[in-house]
Every structure is written in structure tokens, then in C-alpha cells.
């Protein structure tokens, strides 16, 4: 592996100094790019030479343009305007760990290739496969995909990868973290052995290096910063708080720093939804972004946040990698990440493209080991600061329809005194008399007398005497004797 590490600051190079086609230079200018970032200045010439590359750079430094622009340049030799799908096979494959990152990479590649006849498609899970299938069967040159959905299309024979010339593994360490290694190995087995492979990430673990040794041929390592380093233009603050004080701490920092927008990271999907509802009750325009939401809901939440329609976006780590939100002023780690490398990616959502930003991490007593892992990774001693919280005012729950009804105590107080009952009519003296048993006087009731007059001796007065069978044939019945 050739090492071309560059850590010193150099004079920014301009895109128009590269041997790029006029169509690409025009698209780059339309995107507002003039000077290259360090990773772009080092990686683009190497990719144009056709060599395999391992690119390591701080998040937010333009890795997407570093691999997509030179690949588009190399693919222009296959450009054609034919409508036949056979003339547009997949020649470049970009694999990304999350749906949001895949969609963002696809948007960037489409912007760079808009003046060419190269076709770009993006496939990921969580949405219907039919529109993706139609697009794939129509023919595409550049395919951006998440591993799981790509395997679905391969098994359904919707795309063929036997003419792929360029492969990009974007944020490969994240793909390994979430268990995509078997899927990666299956996908790479469908590709031609002769190809150019690029691997770009903000962090390089030993597992990634072993992956590179297996699938890259004499890769050239390009590092423009110390591995796993955090951006120097991001102010990192660590506050020691209790679990019940975290939300108040976020609100205080937002108010004191006059922060208009922020991303708040949590570790669980359930905690993400609960915190979003809590911020809503605090009067903030809030949305949640986590893995249990459909892809359509996740994309709409991101778009609303980018349009400044949302003040606080509460996220799990699905939004920690690769998302490019321009001019995001602040990131909050409501929960310290379980993986120290995720800390680098989380705070990389702010301070992008040279802008300044603030990253606030809320630390409890149970986070000591996780903070120690972050210290080892970023090679910096972390000092916890105290934060003085304001007294929390009681929050009124959202007003519902039944809230418009007066309280029960108010109804009772306002109710008029009950009106006096109307006078009753003449009373029946016999009806109002209490019941008195006649057994005490020894006199039987009239209905009892009539019943007892026909009852045989030894039987209850309510039981009728049995008729003998002979009576059924007209025989004369014996007289019933009664005691005097």
C-alpha cells in the first residue's frame, strides 16, 4: 500500500486546472465549486490515473466529489444517447450504508452529470421496488445503492453487474458496524475481477484495512488529516448533567447561544420519538428521524429541516454519516454514543465546508467508560463543565377539544341551587302502612283460605292432588276426606 499522507495546509487548487471535460467543469461551476478541498486535490488525480484509492478525511470535506467527478470523467468514453438499455449497462457502482447517504450521493452525482448523457439511479430499501425496477431495466451507467436492496434486485435479475468497471465503498466502516460484511462479499463476488475500487471513509479500523487488502489492488492511501480526527472549526463542549436535566440543558444552550437550528442525537429509537414530543411541548418545531420510520417519512423530515421548517431534528445514528446540511450551527449529543467513532461522525454534521459550529455532549455519571473511549480516539483530555440550569416552568399539555369544557369544580360552583320539590298530593293511608304479618293473630289470609280448602291432608295447599290412572278411563274417584 502506497502512502501519500498530506497533513500540511496547501494552497487550494482550482477545478479548472484538472484535465476534466468541459461538461463536468460546467456542472462543477453550477454547483458553486471553484477550489478543491485537500481530499479532492489529492484523490482526484490518482483516480483519474485509474489506481485504487483508500481515502481518509474528516467528515464534511467533500469525499463524494473526490470520487464521483473523476469517475464520471473516465466514463465519458461510454457516453451515448441511445434509448436501448443494452447501450447503458451499469459501469460504476457506489455502495452506501444508509438510505439517506445513498440518496444524498445520488443527488450530487446527478448534479455533476447533468450536462452529459450518463444515466444515474439510486436504489435503497423502505420503498416500493417497482419504480426502481423500471429504472434499472431502462439502463443506467452509475448505480448508487444500499447493500440489502441491491441484493434484492440482483436476485430478481433486475440488474446485471458483469460490466462494472468502478466500485466505490462509501463509509465502509459503518457498513461493517451494522453487519453488512456478508452482503458486501456477495455483491463483490458478482463483479468482474478487473476493476478500479475506491474506499472512502472518515475512519479506518483494522477491519477496514483487512477488507481493503482483500478487494483492492495496491491501493494508494490518501489522508489529509490524522485518522479519526475531529474538525478544528467545531467547538466541542462537554457538560456534566443528570438524566432528568438533559432536556433543560439543551434548551438553555439553544437560548443562550441564539441557535436557530440543531440536530440532537440519541441512542435509541424509542428515546428519539419521546424526546421529539417533549421538545414539541416546549414550543419548538421538532421532527424525529429514526429507523422505524418509513423511507418517505425520513426523506420528508430531512427536506423540511433543510428548508428551515424544523428547529430541532432528533435523530438516531442513521443521520450520523454523510448527511450534508449546509450551515448547520449546532449538534447535541443527548446520549453519548456507544461507539466512539460515531462521535466523530455526529459532530461532523456541523462545521462543514470550512464553516464554524458547536458540538455539545451531555455526560452523566454512567457515561465514564464511553467518554474514556472518545478520549482515546480523539487523543484529547475531556474536561466536564458545569451548566447552571434555569428553574423549569410547568408545561401546559397541548389543548384538546375537551380542554374547552369548564373544570368540574367550576361546574359545581356555578350550578344553581336545586329547586324545592313540589308538594305531594293526598296520601293513601292504607298504602303507606307498613306490612304486618297475620300469622301472629292466627287468622289466615283470604287467598290462603281458598287454597287450603282443596288441599289433601299432609300436602301443601299449593300442590294439587294427584289423579289416579283409573280416572283417565272414567272411573269414579274416591271422595277426598278432610279433617274437622
Q: Which of 28-37, 430-439, 452-461 has the largest mean confidence?
A: 28-37
pLDDT band with cut points at 50, 70 and 90 for residue 8: very low
Q: Report d(CA 358, CA 346) in Å as an integer.
A: 11
List, for residues 254-284, the tens digit of each pLDDT value: 999 888 889 999 988 888 889 999 999 988 9
pLDDT for the residue 64? 87
Residues 156-182 have a mean pLDDT of 86
**Long-range pairs for 17-26: beta carbons < 8 A, 24 or more residues apart:** 18/44, 18/45, 18/48, 19/48, 19/73, 20/69, 20/73, 21/73, 21/76, 23/76, 23/115, 23/116, 24/69, 24/72, 24/73, 24/76, 24/112, 24/113, 24/115, 24/116, 26/115
Q: Which of 272, 279, 235, 246 is nearest to 365 (CA)?
A: 246
Answer for the pair 272, 290: CB distance below 8 angstroms, yes or no. yes
Question: What mean pLDDT is reported for the chain?
Answer: 80
pLDDT in tens, 44-75: 999 999 999 988 866 667 888 999 999 999 99
pLDDT at residue number 430: 66
Contact 250, 394 (CB under 8 A): no
Q: How confident is the model at residue 89 (pLDDT cuts 50, 70, 90)?
A: very high
CB-based burial label for 403 (10 Å; 0-12, 13-18, 19+): exposed
Query: Average of pLDDT values for 406-422?
Result: 53
Residue pointed to by grid coordinates 467518554: 371
What average pLDDT score do residues 308-322 get? Answer: 80
> What's the confidence (pLDDT) of residue 10?
47
Q: Which residues contact 167 (CB under 8 A, 6 or more apart)?
A: 92, 93, 94, 95, 188, 191, 195, 196, 197, 198
Top pLDDT among 100 and 393 is at 100
- Is the pLDDT at 390 greater than 80, yes or no? no
In which region does residue 73 sit, left (phi positive, over 0), alpha (psi from -120 to 50) or beta (all else)? Answer: alpha
For residue 378, what pLDDT is reported?
A: 83
Asked if the model's pLDDT at residue 431 lies above 70, the reply is: no
C-alpha cell read off for 412:
359545581
d(CA 262, CA 278): 15
Phi-psi region of 379 (alpha: psi -120 to 50; beta: other; left: phi over 0): left
Instruction: Tell me the pLDDT band of 93, cut-offs 50, 70 and 90.
Output: very high
| 21, 44 contact by CB (below 8 A) | no
Strand partners, 199: 54, 169
Domains along the chain with CATH numbers: 2-223 (3.40.50.300), 234-378 (3.40.50.300)
366-385 mean pLDDT:
88
346: CB partners within 8 A, 6+ apart: 265, 317, 320, 331, 333, 337, 359
Residue of 228, 313, 307 lying closest to 265 (CA atoms): 313
Mean pLDDT of the region 393-401: 49
Which pLDDT score, from 0 to 100, does residue 125 have?
A: 87
**SS3 of residue 313 by DSSP:** strand
Min mean pLDDT across 60-69, 140-149, 361-370 is at 60-69
* Model confidence pLDDT, tens digit, residues 233-260: 788 899 999 988 999 999 999 999 888 8
Q: Which of 13-22, 223-232, 386-395 has the lowest mean pLDDT?
A: 223-232
For the stretch 290-313, pLDDT in tens is 877 777 788 788 888 888 898 999
Tell me, what's the pLDDT at 137? 93
Of residues 425 and 67, more confidence is placed in 67
Lowest mean pLDDT among 375-379, 424-428, 431-435: 424-428
Q: Cα–Cα distance between 79 and 142 in angstroms, integer?
A: 12
Higher per-residue confidence, 328 vs 405: 328
Q: How confident is the model at residue 165 (pLDDT cuts 50, 70, 90)?
A: very high
Residue 264 confidence (pLDDT): 92
The angle at the Cα of 35, spanning 58 to 59, to the nearest 5 degrees, equals 10
pLDDT in tens, 211-233: 888 888 888 888 876 555 556 67
Place 131 in a pLDDT band, splitting at 50, 70 and 90. very high
Segment 160-166 shows an average pLDDT of 93
For residue 68, what pLDDT is reported? 93
What pLDDT, on the 0 to 100 scale, is given for residue 76? 93
* Confidence category of residue 208, pLDDT binned at 50, 70, 90: confident
Give the pLDDT score at 443: 58
- pLDDT at res. 132: 94
**Mean pLDDT in residue range 70-94:** 93
326, three cell numbers: 449546509
- Flag the least confident range among 127-141, 171-185, 329-343, 426-440: 426-440
Residue 385: pLDDT over 80? yes
| Helix/strand/coil for 342 | helix
Amino acid at each position: 500500500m502506497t502512502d501519500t499522507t498530506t497533513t500540511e495546509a496547501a494552497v487550494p487548487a482550482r477545478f479548472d486546472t484538472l484535465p476534466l471535460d468541459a461538461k463536468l467543469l460546467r456542472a462543477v461551476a453550477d454547483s458553486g465549486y471553484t477550489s478543491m478541498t485537500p481530499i479532492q486535490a489529492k484523490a482526484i488525480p490518482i483516480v483519474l490515473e485509474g489506481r485504487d484509492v483508500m481515502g481518509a478525511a474528516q467528515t464534511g470535506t467533500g469525499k463524494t466529489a473526490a470520487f464521483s467527478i473523476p469517475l464520471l470523467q473516465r466514463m465519458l468514453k461510454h457516453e451515448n444517447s441511445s434509448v436501448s438499455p443494452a447501450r447503458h449497462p451499469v459501469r460504476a457502482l457506489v455502495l452506501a450504508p444508509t438510505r439517506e447517504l445513498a440518496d444524498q450521493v445520488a443527488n450530487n452525482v446527478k448534479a455533476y452529470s447533468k450536462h452529459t448523457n450518463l444515466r444515474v439511479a439510486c436504489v435503497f430499501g423502505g420503498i416500493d421496488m417497482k419504480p426502481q425496477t423500471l429504472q434499472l431495466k431502462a439502463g443506467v451507467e452509475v448505480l448508487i445503492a444500499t447493500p440489502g436492496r441491491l441484493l434484492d434486485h440482483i436476485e430478481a435479475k433486475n440488474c446485471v453487474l458483469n460490466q462494472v468497471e468502478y466500485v466505490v465503498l462509501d463509509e465502509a466502516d459503518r457498513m461493517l458496524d451494522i453487519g453488512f460484511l456478508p452482503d458486501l462479499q456477495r455483491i463483490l463476488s458478482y463483479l468482474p475481477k478487473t476493476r478500479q475500487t475506491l474506499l472512502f471513509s472518515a475512519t479506518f479500523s483494522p477491519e477496514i484495512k483487512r477488507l481493503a487488502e482483500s478487494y483492492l489492488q495496491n491501493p494508494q492511501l490518501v489522508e489529509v488529516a490524522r485518522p479519526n480526527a475531529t474538525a478544528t472549526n467545531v467547538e466541542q463542549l462537554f457538560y456534566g448533567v443528570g438524566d432528568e436535566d438533559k432536556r433543560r440543558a439543551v434548551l438553555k444552550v439553544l437560548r443562550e447561544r441564539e441557535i436557530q437550528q440543531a440536530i440532537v442525537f440519541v441512542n435509541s429509537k424509542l428515546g428519539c420519538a419521546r424526546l421529539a414530543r417533549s421538545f414539541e411541548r416546549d414550543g419548538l418545531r421538532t421532527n424525529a428521524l429514526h429507523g422505524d420510520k418509513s423511507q418517505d417519512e425520513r426523506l420528508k423530515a430531512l427536506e423540511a429541516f433543510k428548508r428551515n421548517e424544523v428547529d430541532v431534528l432528533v435523530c438516531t445514528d442513521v443521520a450520523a454519516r454523510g448527511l450534508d446540511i449546509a450551515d448547520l450551527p449546532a449538534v447535541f449529543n443527548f446520549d453519548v454514543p456507544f461507539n466512539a467513532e460515531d462521535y466523530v461522525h455526529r459532530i461532523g454534521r456541523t462545521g462543514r465546508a470550512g464553516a464554524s459550529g458547536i458540538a455539545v455532549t451531555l455526560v452523566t455519571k454512567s457515561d465514564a467508560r464511553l467518554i474514556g473511549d472518545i478520549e482515546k480516539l480523539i487523543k484529547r483530555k475531556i474536561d466536564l463543565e458545569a451548566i447552571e440550569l434555569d428553574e423549569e416552568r410547568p408545561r401546559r399539555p397541548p389543548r384538546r377539544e375537551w380542554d374547552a369544557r369548564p373544570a368540574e369544580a367550576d361546574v359545581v360552583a356555578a350550578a344553581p341551587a336545586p329547586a324545592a320539590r313540589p308538594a305531594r298530593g293526598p296520601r293513601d293511608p292504607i298504602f303507606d302502612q307498613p306490612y304486618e304479618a297475620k300469622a301472629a293473630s292466627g287468622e289466615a289470609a283470604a287467598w290462603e283460605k281458598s287454597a287450603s280448602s282443596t288441599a289433601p291432608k299432609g300436602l301443601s295447599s299449593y300442590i294439587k292432588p294427584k289423579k289416579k290412572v283409573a280416572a283417565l278411563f272414567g272411573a269414579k274417584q274416591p271422595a277426598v276426606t278432610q279433617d274437622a
